[in-house]
Structure 1
Amino acid sequence: MSTTQTASAATDAQGVKVYVRVRPMSASEVEQGCDSAFAAEAASITLGPKTYAFDEVFNATESQDHVFTHSAAGLLDGFFEGYNTTVFAYGQTGSGKTYTMGVEHGGVIPHVVSDVFSRGKKLDTDKMTTVVLKMSYLEIFNEEVFDLLASTPTTSLAVRDDLKRGIIVAGLSEHVVRSTDEVNQLLLQGAGRRATASTGMNDTSSRSHAICTLSMHQQPAEGMAKFSKFHLVDLAGSERAKRTLATGDRFKEGVHINQALLTLGKVITALSDKKAFVPYRESKLTRLLQDSLGGNSKTIMIACVSPADSNYDETTSTLRYAERTRCIQNKAVINKDPGACEIKYLRQQVELLQLQLLQAKSGLPTMWQPPPPPAMTTTTTGSIISSLNTSVSCTSKADFTQDEGLLLLPQEAKDDQKKCMAQ
């Protein structure tokens, strides 16, 4: 989901970072006598005749702490600098995506939450910055969007384009959160409402895509406010009906899951090939991830795979799309609060009106046309007003957003203004 930001010189163009996590063999895979399908190195996997390159590969023995520290932790600096950030888990059903991301086993999401609150408290103490955090949590189930934190059961929510805020989910609730405990409580509440079911490949298969978003507003004691979002995405897994033994509702759910993931694959392909048209609008999932892939976000993907040779085709597909994702270039910008920018600009307009009034009282023509000082005005006053006019006329709107004071003229001009008032 996107947010509108004011123009900023701080633009960071970089590729999506991609990590691969290999889960251990499952009990059923061991019973079936499955062998490992690939050879994994520190930053590559060789499967069949092809070697796929990534930013890092986590083997089956790596801890949750290690996975977080070497992947999503790198996004936190950007989040506090005012950049939108996204981490999403991708892979077939039963490959360990929810384990990697979720609360129950201490995955990426609770690690991110803990670090965000720790840094937020330090900012508040050391730099006198007020930090407000809000949280939303939604799922996309059968191509419909539902609020996992709504106080009462809700109907499907609409995804809309908003001129000011970009792509939004109309009616999605946001909750102010003040501690990790509050966030974890909401996460558990949302996870309990999320659609899951038993299939032939996973006893607790997620039947929906879930997006948890932390929204942060930072207001320093002096200076420009910043606004950023951290999207934490747990995708439902791709699956084949023959292998999951899906029928009835499970089959229908699988069709919707696969269709959304197929569109995601098409988006990844179009972006990596630098195509002019990218089919974001073909699914709700890709519309909501539009900024995260090719837009205003610092993004990482964690591709989760099974080592078993019985999953050879699914693993090949996951690795192929994961490697393509590395080719996607995002252009993240620092989001400055448009409201704060506008307030500063309006304050500048007040200063201009005050200066015009001062000129009128001094008998000078209106500003922007500073003449030589007339006889009725002292040379000192006239030169000061002339200097003020020059300062104001040379100050652009872009400059206003950089000034941290209540009066937005350069310091020399402020001093001139005080001298003039004292005449």
Structure 2
Amino acid sequence: MILQISRARLLLYGVILATLLILWLTIACLVMERVENSPEGLVVVTLKFLAPMKPTAIEDLVITRNGHPGKVPFTYTWQTANTLQIKISEQDYPRGHRYHYKFKGAPSMFWPFFVWAGGDFQAKVPVRFLGIEASDTVPSRGPAVLKFNTNLKADEIKNYIKLPVPGRLEPANVTAQPDYSRWLYWPSTKLQNLSTYEIEILKGLPNQQGEKLTKSIIARFKTTPEFLIEAAYPRPGSGSIWLSREIAIEANQPLKEGSLIIEGLPGRSVIKDNRIYYLPERILLPSKTYRVKAHLVSVSNETLDYEYSFSTTNLGQHRWLEFKHAPSPTLWLMQGNKTLREMPVAVKPGRPLPVGTLYEQNRTDHWFRLNADILLHVLPKGRTDRHENLGLPTTYSCIYLEEKDLKELLQALPPNFMFISH
């Protein structure tokens, strides 16, 4: 039997299939969104679907924020099977972000209809001025930070802000992205310290959505006290400074960060309150002039660059010893300001050596004794440091040398030599 289908019926079937396809595509791709009026800090958007949706369709919804990675958290309410209301909290500033939503195969109540639609939405936020950050302690060289509740139009802000002193306005950077709700005012010349300045923000200042500031505002800020050096140690220009002398600079304000650099003296900087200390890897060398370069930043973001120099004591060509406790005990044989030998040593456990300048008290062919009751001697391998068994005098603590190093030092060092421990 041959099945015959008329041309009219074929055309009818084609129209029905095309209609179903158009309906399927329309339901899949068309979602209508409407941003509702809501208090600032809360974004409410209503989404309407052509087909009634299953409640589980919410599991296939992803919301992202323009310019930021990751998903945006939200709450939701199914008002009807066709109407979904989404709420996003914008508690932090800036507010009025642009969002993108996307449904990926969200199921309707009628198989085989699924929704794959997406779109953008953004709540309108009126422009508000939030104030100047740390308005009582603005650095005299800037910046004064102006905070708004929403992102402003970058190309128009200069027309609506009158500055007390000519300068530039630029958006703050957050993780390498400009923040158009926070604007930095950098004066072209240094402002007077402990002085009050006014910035006028004019009515009509627009944000990126076209909303405008409804009234003009006068914002005031006060600059910090002048950032000064109160003392430097050693004193600038001083001479005959001892080799273990502390190096530090004291400012009149607490320090947030800073660095000291001394050419020819590797080390690191440490900040404590309004002082910065320099901790050298080794002590100062005699007969040498050191130049200190300091860059300091106060807690109020004032900056200060300072340089000074000092000279150390002259030891001529006398030989002496330098000893360092950490990270591993090390001994250096010195002649004037030159290093002749570096020797790894060990110290008696549990008996820390004093820090400072010591001198030789006496010696034999087997040991040196320093005036703080410290003995330098050889500790044979496998032996414990029991002086009565080693034929050594009783002392508070010891430094252990290699046999060859002890012999060299006995020949190289003059009587009553100097020993500096740090």
Question: Which structure is richer in relative contact order (CA contacts within 8 A, separation 6 or more)?
Answer: 1
**Normalising by the residue count of structure 2, what TM-score does the alignment of the two structures yield?**
0.24
Between Structure 1 and Structure 2, the one with more strand by share is 2
Structure with higher Rg: it is 2
Structure with more helix by fraction: 1
TM-score norm. by structure 1 comes to 0.24
